[in-house]
Every structure is written in structure tokens, then in C-alpha cells.
């Protein structure tokens, strides 16, 4: 009978270990489910972040393009103004730089008085 009792005791121990293993497996399943939910939430948050960052980058590129156009326009306008001023000075300066034509000097013929 000692063998039968020992077998029953071992069977109870094995049954207890199996119950503990089953409980641990259920706990792990719950934890894995929680991790899966968190991973899905992080994935969706990452997608939202990606969309937002792309939109911000597009706005920044548009802003930079506008400033470049403004600066190019200012540079072209300034160049045109400088060109006009230079041409005005050059054209106005050439007519002023030529000496006036002196009136014709008439000489009296010698001895003709």
C-alpha cells in the first residue's frame, strides 16, 4: 500500500504542478494580449505622427519657397532700379560731359580797317 499512496501523492503533485503551469500560461496570455494591444496603439500613433510630420514638412517647404520667391523678386527689382539709375546717370552724364560748342570767332582781316 505504500506504493499506492506514494503514486497517489506523486499524481497529486503532478496535478498541482499542471494547475500552476496552466495558471501561469493564462497569465502570460493576458500579458501577451496587453502587449499586443499596446503595440497596435503605438503603431497607430506612429502612423498619425508620420502624417503630421509630413504635413509640417510640406508647410515648411512651401514657406521656404515663398521666401525664396520674395528674395528673388527683391533682388531682381533692386537690379532693375540700379540699372535704371546707372543708365540715367550715364545718358544724362554724356550730354553734360560734352563741352559746349563755342560761337564762331570772326577775325578781322589784317589791314582791312
Mapping DSSP onto H, E and C, the string for 80-97 reads: HHHHHHHHHHHHHHHHHH
| Burial category of 110 from C-beta neighbours within 10 Å (exposed 0-12, middle 13-18, buried 19 and up) | exposed
Distance (Å, whole) CA 82 – CA 113: 61
Predicted model pTM: 0.48
pLDDT digits (tens, 9 = 90+) for 88-97: 998 886 554 5
C-alpha cell at 38: 499596446
State yes or no: pLDDT of 44 exceeds 60: yes
pLDDT digits (tens, 9 = 90+) for 56-83: 999 999 999 999 999 999 999 999 999 9
Residue 23 falls inside a structural domain: yes
Residue 12 falls inside a structural domain: yes
C-alpha cell at 29: 496570455
State yes or no: pLDDT of 107 exceeds 80: no
Confidence of residue 14 (pLDDT cuts 50, 70, 90): very high
pLDDT at residue 42, rounded to an integer: 96
Residue 19 falls inside a structural domain: yes
Q: Which range marks the domain in which residue 20 is found?
A: 1-60
When divided into structural domains, the chain yields a total of: 1
User: What is the CB-side half-sphere exposure of residue 104 using CA atoms within 13 A?
Assistant: 2
Amino acid at each position: 500500500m505504500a506504493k499506492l499512496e506514494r503514486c497517489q501523492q506523486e499524481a497529486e503533485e503532478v496535478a498541482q504542478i499542471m494547475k500552476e503551469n496552466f495558471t501561469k500560461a493564462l497569465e502570460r496570455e493576458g500579458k501577451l494580449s496587453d502587449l499586443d494591444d499596446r503595440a497596435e496603439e503605438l503603431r497607430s500613433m506612429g502612423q498619425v505622427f508620420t502624417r503630421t510630420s509630413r504635413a509640417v514638412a510640406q508647410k515648411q517647404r512651401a514657406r521656404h519657397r515663398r521666401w525664396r520667391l520674395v528674395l528673388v523678386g527683391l533682388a531682381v527689382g533692386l537690379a532693375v532700379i540700379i540699372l535704371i539709375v546707372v543708365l540715367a546717370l550715364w545718358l544724362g552724364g554724356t550730354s553734360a560731359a560734352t563741352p559746349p560748342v563755342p560761337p564762331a570767332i570772326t577775325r578781322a582781316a589784317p589791314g582791312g580797317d
